[in-house]
Amino acid sequence: MAIKFAGQQMNLSGTDYQCGTQSAQLFLVISLLIIAFVANTILWTIIVRYKALRTIPNILLANLVIVDMLSALANLPLFMLDVVIFNVWFTGQLTAFATVFAYLLFILLKLYSMVLMMCDRYAAISQGMAYKQWISKRKALSGISCVWLSGITITSCAMLPVWSVNLGSSRVQEYRAIYFTRSIRYCLLSKLPLCVVVIAVLSLATYCSMHRQVSQLQETLERRMRNEARAATTIVIVLLAYVICFMPSIVFTLAVRDLGTINQWLLFIPPYFAFLTSAFDPIMFICRSKSLQSACARLLRLRRNSVMCSGNRSTATHSNATGRLFTVRRVYHDSENLRSLDLRF
């Protein structure tokens, strides 16, 4: 009886540990999803709301924001169902194919979007004042279209060789292991270093071009050049952060062969780190841009004033009218101030 009781106690402890692990992982995933959604929504709203902020660099930034937001909304719930909850119906060939397709697609879209942004920064610094005559919103939208078309095409080509893999009602993790062994990891290991090399070359060319021009610049142009260089530096920082966060997934894919013997946290940490940048990229861009910081502060003040005016509406009609007048004046004042800012992200 004593041995049986001890065994029951051990099983209960193991169940409690598994429930605690699952609860902690659920909290981390849901928190990351909320942060990613809120941060990307704020940055996208800033760019869309203020007409003066709809510059070419910010249009490209808005594309990256959309990629990050869609990546978080698509991949994090799938990741939660597959790795954390072990949902019984989250199995099968079609589910696994769709999950890995979305995962690979948004990786490539993010890499290509950063390459496009870095090309824009290089053109802005190397061409100087001729950049504004050469660039247009139509060209920026064409570049964004090429990014999405390339991402979808390359992802489809990479997934075609694994379409025939059929393990029945096996878990998505088992499908993913075979997918990465046959095709996906070769795609990632070729595209990720290539994009890093391209951005590194563009960064070096941007620095050399800026160094050549800095002695010939007037004060106003020198300030503009510093802003362009700061924007290029931000893109490089974001790319380095993405590569660092993605390294655990690469190491895990290359090193692990048998998923059945892997600890639950080792299954959780590599993909979770790969999703971190979807939440913190918009925060990084806002922190390194004075114009975005100013617009964000004004947007939050307007929201707060609107809430206060709505609360006062039920107490006094006169206070409500005054609040609306104050809000209208604030909107006009904010729009006038934004026109005088140096509007580069």
* Structural domains of the chain ordered from first start: 22-301 (1.20.1070.10)
Res 336: pLDDT? 41
Res 68: pLDDT? 94
Q: How many residues does the structure list for the chain?
A: 345
Res 334: pLDDT? 47
Chunked mean pLDDT (size 10), the chain, 345 residues: 38 58 86 93 90 88 94 89 70 84 91 90 76 82 94 89 80 77 72 79 76 58 69 83 82 66 76 85 86 82 64 48 42 42 42
Res 31: pLDDT? 92
CA 328 to chain centre: 34
Q: Which residue, chain included where needed, has tokens 């719930």?
A: 77
Q: b or e along 70-98 (b: 16 or more beta carbons within 10 Å of the residue's beta carbon)?
A: bbbebbbebbbbbbbeeeeebbbbebbbe
55 backbone dihedrals φ, ψ, rounded to 5°: -85, 170
Give the closest residue to 90 by CA, choosing from 155, 176, 182: 176
Q: Model pTM?
A: 0.76
Res 152: pLDDT? 93
Report d(CA 113, CA 62) in Å as an integer: 10
